Structure 1
Amino acid sequence: MPDSPMMAARDFEGMADAGLVEQVRRGEPLAFCAVMRRYNQPLFRVARAIMADDAEAEDVVQESYARAFAAIGGFRGEAGLGTWLTRIVINESRGRLRRRRPQVDLDQVERTQEAGALILGFPGGKVVDDPEVDAARAEVRRLLERAVDELREPFRLVFILRDIEDRSVDEVAGLLDIRAETVRTRLHRARRQLRAALDATLADALRGSFPFLGPRCDRLVETVMRRLRAERGWPDPDVA
């Protein structure tokens, strides 16, 4: 037995999914805490992809956990725990949308999309511990999140599962009960639409890039003038 509640929490954090499920079935609260900590981010992202709202996505995840806890006795492990939880989140999210508004036929949505071949890339890079870099990265993330929010739900969900959660095409197809080719098509269109949206947004931002105004401008002017006064014997303007 663990020596303390803190030790128990650490033990559960390192436990495999199957072990956690068994402990949850036994009514161990720390095991369910470990499950939530393990899956909070991917599940929130899926809910956010469908609901397009932070607060609603959080509500969906909370309700989905409640449903999962109530149904844990029926979990047989044919799919992974993460897959099972993800399907609960998808069902809960879409159920809320159905109650809110009529569904749009997905084939009709796809037929309205224009063909295109622009692909949005997400290059990696070394993480730099710099406040200005962090602020710039945060602003880029906000721009991307707003652009993702503008996607229709079928494309937004595939994009988040595939490009943000890094799930395979086959995993996404299984989760959404669609063909792998449909996943690829929606992902392609989502990337194209994001590229178009970001191109328009960034075009305005680029016109204001690399500013050199205010104190930076003043500092450079003063540095150059100080050098010229020394080289050319110009009088110091502060000396009357």
Structure 2
Amino acid sequence: MMKPTGSAEAVRIEDLDDAGLVEHARLRDPAAFWLIIKRHNQRLYRVARAVLNDDTEAEDVVQETYIHAFTHLAEFRAEAQLSTWLTRIALNEALGRRRKRRPTVDVKAIEGMVVPFSAHKPDPEEAAALAEIRDLLERAVGGLPEPFRIVFVMRDVEEMSIEETAFLLALRPQTVSTRLYRARRLLREALRDKLATVFTDTFLFAGPRCDRLAQSALDRLAIRLVRKDSHPLNTATERT
């Protein structure tokens, strides 16, 4: 465990809020970097994916976001929300990449979307039906006009507030609400009665993929762990 300065009680680093993690990250604590990445990967990936409609580019954006953020921690103000600051960086990076693209009419299917229709293991016929519905959902979300797709992912998938979404996209709250309404209407029209209403597990970015990106970002920042084969948290929490 780590003992913060001025405290008589030991506090586990994983129990710190984002502001506390930033303070540790400014001291180049590997565990703090790792926890920040793990906490915010999902949101950043979803936002980047909504802008770029491409899985590989979205992962690149997330990694570049952390590289930029961790090398500019002095610019982060404690009164701000770390999640909002990181999302703004990711959004700018994604929009910059999109502007460099050549125009295209192709729509790539969104990968990794999971809609939890039921907890039981489906039989072959049910599995085939679910796969068909998922494919329809992927294509429908991927085919939304970009302004609607971004708002839809931020509001209905990532569950950001109207105020935060408006701030990040430099829009009026009413505009966010209007775009979300139109996105939902377009999806309903595209999928009709097959559209599922549960989106909390879409655009998953966790497990090995999340860990791989986290480690890659730390490697690029030359943040070395005491034991390369151990989890950064193990290294940090064993110190006293």
The TM-score with structure 2 as length reference comes to 0.66
Look up the match of 2:169. Answer: 176
1:129 corresponds to: 120
- In the other structure, the counterpart of 1:111 is none
Among residues 154, 158, 163, which one is paired with 2:156 in the alignment? 163
Pick the structure with more helix per residue. 1
Q: Give 1:75's aligned amino acid.
A: F
TM superposition shift of 1:13:
2.7
- Aligned residue pairs, count: 175
Give the equivalent residue in structure 2 for 1:186.
179
Residues 37 and 185 of structure 1, relative CA distance in 2, 3 Å threshold: same
Distance in 2, matches of 1:159 and 1:41, equals: 15
1:10-159 matches, within 5 Å, as 11-101=12-102, 127-132=118-123, 137=130, 139-159=132-152
Secondary structure of 1:76's aligned partner? coil
Give SS of 2:191's match.
helix
Deviation track 1:138-178 (CA, whole Å, cap 9, x = no partner) reads: 65344322211101111101000111111111121111110
- Separation (CA, whole Å) in 2 of partners of 1:24 and 1:140: 43
Pairwise CA distance, 1:192: 1.1
Secondary structure of 1:95's match?
Answer: helix
Q: 1:33 and 1:176 mapped to 2: Cα distance?
A: 27
2:171 partner SS = coil
Partner SS for 1:167: coil
**Residue 155 and residue 18 in structure 1: after superposition, are their counterparts in 2 closer, same or farther (change >3 A)?**
same
Please tell me the root mean square deviation across aligned C-alpha atoms, in Å.
Answer: 2.8
Q: Report the Cα distance in structure 1 between the residues aligned to 2:21 and 2:74, rounded to whole angstroms.
A: 13
CA separation in 2, counterparts of 1:159 and 1:126? Answer: 20
Larger radius of gyration: 1
Q: Using CA pairs below 8 Å that are at least 6 residues apart, which structure has the higher relative contact order?
A: 2
Residues 87-126 of structure 1 deviation map (CA, whole Å, 9 limit, x = unaligned): 0000000011112248xxxxxxxxxxxxxxxxxxxxx988
Structure 1: 5+ residue stretches without partners: 4-9, 103-123, 204-240
Q: Deviations over 1:65-97 (max 9, x none)?
A: 111111111101332000000000000000111
Structure 1 distance, partners of 2:163, 2:133, is 30
- Aligned-residue sequence identity (percent) comes to 54
In structure 2, stretches of 5+ residues that fail to align are 4-10, 104-114, 196-240
Q: Distance in 2 between matches of 1:195 and 1:126?
A: 18
